[in-house]
Amino acid sequence: MKIKQTEFVISAVRPNQYPEDGLPEIALAGRSNVGKSSLINKMMLRKNLARTSSQPGKTQQLNYYRVNEAIYLVDFPGYGYAKVSKKQREQFGVMIETYLRERQQLVLQLLVIDIRHEPSKDDVLMYEWLKHFEIPTCIVATKADKIPRSKWDKHLKQIKQTLGADKEVPVVLFSSETGLGREQLWDTILDAIDAAGMQLPDSGGTTEAMVELSENKQEQS
């Protein structure tokens, strides 16, 4: 997919801070330091649009990133970091639950899992949450470059079994280092937008951007 424009838009903690332009939103959830920021940067072909940190639990809001004036990637706070206070965890939980329950622009949830490790209890809980709210979900197995190719299938099977994922839930192998899975993940995102029947504005660059996204996808297929 051709990336023409990317930008950080807002760090939101309340629904009244969310963008109101009606563009489709793709949300990312995962454990602290699972690589969500690196994934966003690779998807948008930017090095530091989403700031990466060695300090777990740094993201404490919903961070909105816009691509081609057409799609938002929404980065959730990482979960599972022991040093985050109980009060913070409760605040995160309320914020995420409210978003999942009420945000009509959400068309796809990316559940980001480190392929090297079995999903945690928090990962399983997040997947069960997504099923409860009937959110279309894609599992993204990151850091695929960190294990031998011969072990990919075994680890992917373990991830789906541990999560209790349905057979139809897509799984994308991803590496922020090599770019593995980047185009496949964009295709999955575009399919989700199509399936949601999102209505985009007819004016400005947004429609043109979405047309270009679709055309690029068709050229690759």
Residue 126 in contact with residue 162, Cβ under 8 Å?
A: no
Domain span holding position 29: 6-194
Residues 6+ apart with CB under 8 A from 131: 137
Whether 213 is covered by a domain: the verdict is: no
The domain that holds 72 is classified in CATH as 3.40.50.300
Residue 53 gets the label, from left (phi > 0), alpha (psi -120 to 50) or beta, of: beta
Q: Which residues of 112-151 are buried (b: 16+ CB within 10 A; e: fewer)?
A: bbbbeeebbebbeebbebbeebebbbbbbbbbbeeeeeee
Q: What pLDDT is stored for residue 201 in this prediction?
A: 46
Query: 166 pLDDT band (50/70/90 cuts)?
Result: very high
Query: 202 pLDDT band (50/70/90 cuts)?
Result: very low
Q: What pLDDT is stored for residue 80 in this prediction?
A: 77
| Interval 103-125 mean pLDDT | 97
Whether 126 is covered by a domain: the verdict is: yes
Whether 215 is covered by a domain: the verdict is: no
| Interval 156-168 mean pLDDT | 96
Q: Is the dihedral of CA 77, 79, 82, 84 positive or negative?
A: positive
| Interval 177-191 mean pLDDT | 97
Q: What pLDDT is stored for residue 203 in this prediction?
A: 37
pLDDT of 12-45, one tens digit each? 989 999 999 999 999 999 998 899 999 999 999 9
Whether 159 is covered by a domain: the verdict is: yes
Least confident of 17-21, 27-31, 187-191, 198-202: 198-202
Q: What pLDDT is stored for residue 93 in this prediction?
A: 85
| Interval 176-183 mean pLDDT | 97
Q: What pLDDT is stored for residue 149 in this prediction?
A: 97
Whether 210 is covered by a domain: the verdict is: no
Query: 58 pLDDT band (50/70/90 cuts)?
Result: low
Q: How many CB atoms lie within 10 A of CB 89?
A: 15
Whether 24 is covered by a domain: the verdict is: yes
Query: 59 pLDDT band (50/70/90 cuts)?
Result: low
pLDDT beyond 60 at 219: no
Q: What pLDDT is stored for residue 89 in this prediction?
A: 76
Whether 216 is covered by a domain: the verdict is: no
pLDDT of 122-143, one tens digit each? 999 999 999 999 999 999 999 9
Residues 6+ apart with CB under 8 A from 40: 28, 49, 50, 65, 73, 75
Q: What pLDDT is stored for residue 83 in this prediction?
A: 62
Q: Say how many domains are in the chain.
A: 1
Average pLDDT, the chain: 87
pLDDT beyond 70 at 56: no
Q: What is the pTM of this model?
A: 0.86
Alpha-carbon Rg of the chain, whole angstroms?
17
Whether 69 is covered by a domain: the verdict is: yes
As a whole number of angstroms, the distance between CA 76 and CA 20 comes to: 18
